[in-house]
Every structure is written in C-alpha cells, then in structure tokens.
C-alpha cells in the first residue's frame, strides 16, 4: 500500500465519521451528461518479450452517457525499431490490430509506434525499450481478511528481479472458474408448438453440456506496485487479488493466471495517475486535481491535439495457480450461487386471455428458464428455475479450457 492510497482511505474514513455524527452528509450517484464532447484518439499498446502477434488497441473517446467503446478502424499501425526493424499490423477486429508476423521485443532496442488514422492524421510515440526482467517466485492463496474486515481468499505474489532495476510492476490477471449448475437435470422442457392452441411442451434429453462450465474473466482494475521504497529487491506477499468468501466464483475450482509487466517509471506514473483519477471516492475532503492525462503518444501535426495513449515495451512473466474451495473451507457450505435457485416458477400452459401468450412458452423461450421437475398438474405442468440454475452456459463456456487441470 503506498502513501497515496493510505491517505485516501483516511479521508474516506473521515467521511464515514462525519456521516455518523451529522448523519446527513451524502454522496449520490448521478447520470452524467457530456456537456461538450471531445473526440480524442486512445491508444493502448504494450508489446512484450513474448514471441506472439503483438497487439495494439486504437479507439476513440465516446460520450459519457453512451456505452463504449468506439473502435478506430482502418488505421495504419506500425512499430519500428532503431535497427531498421519494421513491424506491420493488421486489423483483426474493429480497433484491434495485431502484428502480421509474430515477434518479440528484444532488449537494447528502441521501439516507436506510429498510427495513421483513416482521416489521414498521424500520431507517433516516444521511443521505448524493453524493461528489465523479473521472475515470479511464488503465487499462492491464503485465507485472510480484506481492509474492511471481510473474510476471503487473498492471492499473493513474491517476485525477484533478474538483474537489476526491475522496480515498477503492473499486474493483470485472468481468472477461470468452474461453474456447476446447482439445479441441473438431464432433460430440458422444449416447446414443440406454441400455436395453434394448446401449446405443446415436451421433455427431451439435453443435447449439450449444461452442468459444468468454465468462465474466464480478465482483470479490469489497475494493479500496481513498486519496490522503490523497499529495502528488498522484490515484492513479498503482494496482494494481487482478494476474493470474498461469499463470491460464487470460488465455489468449486478456481484458477488465476497472473501476468506481471515490468514497467518503466513513466509508464508506472501514467497508470498510477489513471488509477488515481478513477478512484476519487476516497478523497472527498480534498479531491485530487484531475486533468488531461498525458501519455507518450502525440499528434505529429497538431501539437495541441489531445491524444491519450501509452506505448510501452514490457517484459512479461506469467504464473498460474489452481485451488478448490474445499482446500480452504473444508466442509463449509458453498458460497451462494450467482442466481437465486430456490426460487421456482410454475407457469400456466394456457394463456389468461384468448389471444395472450402462453406463460410457459414465454418462460422457456423468452426467459430461458430451465426445467427441474414435473408437477403433475396439467395446467402448470413443470417447475422451472432461472436459466443459470439449470444451465451453466448462461455463465460460462462448457468447453474445458486447454490449461485446465483438475
């Protein structure tokens, strides 16, 4: 925990205190509207020392009230190095550009990124070179509490620099968890006929795997740490992720792939500021002065054009960890499932009015509710549950990931 965050939580605490005393201070959410919209180019480019098709993401800003992103298509993306290396990129899906050939960043070379958008503007980055390497010594999970005193599993990391100067780290992770639909049965209620009335719904064996699934989710928070203030070279017991005990993702088997990016000081500062601006809730009494965040990508034609982006060349190390809920909480009840599966529905087969829809057909086809058992009542023949309770594909994929180990 660095100083800034500590201070942040202090302020948050004060806030709580004031609220307690006067019981009326308030923080409310509101719908923001973009009063003036500025379209600006966003570039996210991290190339690594892994041999792969390297990726560059190019998009534009979008209105606050809209859901993004707005990909920037048909741009010409290129990376060059100071030894006449030239790496072309192609757009594989809107806004996502992959190098046409796989390559890996090599130490000692200076790389530059250029982006030419379809409207003819060109953007360039400052030169960047590969950061030093650091190895992940250990990745492990243990039961503990978070700062709010809630119980759960913390995932920690120890690392060690290979050589010197690997002091700034950013982490990403990809977590994969096994889902077992709690009300799964081997048969499905299938609508054979809706009209003419009466509708016909029959039971058929399921044709695909719907009991056990896997879901993979990438991290979406900025996780940073540095060893600049530490007497040790590496991180010890750095908390990468905390999962509350009541989070359903750890119900069965859980796996996390942690990616460690060694960053330059500038890149670290950029991510740190980005993070600071987006977690301002903690600084109520004194808000951090926000402003335009400058990266290392600029317009080559118009100096005052705002471009937000960072091009970095990072050394990457990854490590995967598996564990079961049973490993840490043997014999304890599982966390609550994602959906409430005790809620059961018994829709009528026949509609209420002559022309109305059949509630049962609606439940199966529109809501995707899943059969669990028959009632014996002809008017409402089946008991149904929310889809995810009987069909895990609502929450993940039924294909076992390649890396999965039981």
40 or 212, CB closer to other proteins? Answer: 40
Task: Provide the minimum distance between the beta carbon of 345 and other proteins in the complex, in angstroms, as a whole number.
Answer: 29
Angle, alpha carbons 145-175-42 (nearest 5°)? 105
A 10 A CB-CB count for 45 gives: 26
Element at 75 (helix H, strand E): none
Task: Provide the minimum distance between the beta carbon of 85 and other proteins in the complex, in angstroms, as a whole number.
Answer: 25
Task: Provide the minimum distance between the beta carbon of 54 and other proteins in the complex, in angstroms, as a whole number.
Answer: 17
Task: Provide the minimum distance between the beta carbon of 209 and other proteins in the complex, in angstroms, as a whole number.
Answer: 28
Alpha-carbon distance of 164 to 352, in angstroms, equals 75
Tokens of 296: 């290392």
66 or 82, CB closer to other proteins? Answer: 66
Dihedral sign (CA 383, 385, 389, 390): positive
83 or 231, CB closer to other proteins? Answer: 231
Burial of 351 (0-12, 13-18, 19+ CB in 10 A): middle
Task: Provide the minimum distance between the beta carbon of 84 and other proteins in the complex, in angstroms, as a whole number.
Answer: 25
197 or 237, CB closer to other proteins? Answer: 237
Cβ atoms of 282 and 220 within 8 Å: the answer is no
Backbone angles phi, psi at 88, to 5 degrees: -90, 155
The DSSP result for 68-93, as a single string, is --EE--S-EEEEEETTS-EEEEEEEE
Angle, alpha carbons 223-53-214 (nearest 5°)? 60
Tokens of 41: 């180019």
φ/ψ region of 26 (left if φ > 0, alpha if ψ in -120 to 50, else beta) reads beta
Task: Provide the minimum distance between the beta carbon of 254 and other proteins in the complex, in angstroms, as a whole number.
Answer: 18
211 or 244, CB closer to other proteins? Answer: 244
Task: Provide the minimum distance between the beta carbon of 206 and other proteins in the complex, in angstroms, as a whole number.
Answer: 32
211 or 306, CB closer to other proteins? Answer: 306
Cβ atoms of 289 and 280 within 8 Å: the answer is no
Task: Provide the minimum distance between the beta carbon of 233 and other proteins in the complex, in angstroms, as a whole number.
Answer: 10
3 or 192, CB closer to other proteins? Answer: 3
32 or 333, CB closer to other proteins? Answer: 32
Alpha-carbon distance of 314 to 114, in angstroms, equals 18
303 or 352, CB closer to other proteins? Answer: 303
Task: Provide the minimum distance between the beta carbon of 186 and other proteins in the complex, in angstroms, as a whole number.
Answer: 35
Cβ atoms of 368 and 156 within 8 Å: the answer is no
B/e letters for 211-229, b = 16+ CB within 10 Å, e = fewer, are bebbbeeebeeebbbbbee
Which three-class secondary structure state does DSSP give residue 378?
coil
Identify any residues that bridge with 96 across adjacent strands, giving them in sequence order. 57, 93
């Amino acid at each position: 925990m660095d100083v800034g965050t500590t201070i942040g939580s202090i302020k948050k605490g004060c806030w709580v205190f004031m609220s307690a005393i006067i019981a009326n201070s308030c923080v409310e959410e509101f719908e923001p509207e973009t009063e003036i919209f500025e379209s600006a180019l966003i570039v996210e480019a991290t190339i690594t020392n892994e041999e792969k098709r390297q990726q560059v993401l190019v998009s534009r800003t979008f209105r606050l009230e809209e859901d993004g992103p707005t990909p920037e298509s048909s741009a010409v993306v290129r990376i060059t190095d100071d030894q006449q290396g030239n790496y072309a990129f192609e757009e594989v899906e809107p806004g996502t550009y992959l190098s046409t050939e796989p390559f890996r960043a090599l130490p000692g070379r200076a790389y530059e990124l250029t982006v030419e958008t379809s409207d003819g503007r060109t953007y360039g980055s400052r030169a960047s070179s590969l950061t030093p390497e650091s190895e992940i010594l250990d990745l492990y999970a243990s039961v503990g509490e978070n700062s709010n005193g809630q119980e759960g599993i913390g995932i920690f990391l120890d690392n060690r620099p290979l050589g010197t100067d690997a002091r700034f780290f950013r982490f990403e992770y990809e977590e994969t968890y096994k889902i077992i639909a709690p009300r799964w049965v081997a048969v499905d209620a299938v609508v054979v006929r809706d009209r003419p009335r009466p509708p016909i719904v029959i039971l058929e064996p399921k044709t695909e795997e719907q009991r056990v699934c896997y879901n993979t989710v990438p991290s979406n928070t900025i996780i940073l740490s540095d060893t600049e203030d530490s007497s040790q070279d590496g991180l010890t017991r750095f908390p990468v992720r905390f999962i509350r005990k009541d989070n359903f993702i750890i119900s069965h088997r859980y796996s996390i792939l942690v990616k460690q990016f060694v960053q330059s000081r500038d890149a670290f500062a950029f991510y740190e500021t980005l993070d600071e601006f987006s977690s301002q809730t903690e600084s109520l009494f004194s808000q951090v002065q926000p402003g335009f965040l400058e990266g290392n990508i600029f317009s080559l034609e118009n100096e005052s054009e705002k471009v937000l982006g960072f091009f970095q060349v990072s050394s990457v190390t990854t490590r995967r960890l598996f564990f079961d809920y049973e490993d840490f909480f043997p014999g304890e009840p599982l966390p609550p499932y994602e959906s409430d599966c005790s809620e059961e529905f018994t829709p009528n087969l026949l509609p209420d009015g002559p022309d109305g829809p059949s509630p049962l057909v609606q439940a199966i086809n529109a809501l995707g509710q899943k059969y669990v058992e028959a009632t014996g009542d002809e008017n409402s023949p089946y008991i149904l549950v929310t889809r995810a309770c009987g069909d895990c594909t609502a929450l993940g994929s039924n294909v076992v990931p390649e890396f999965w180990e039981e």
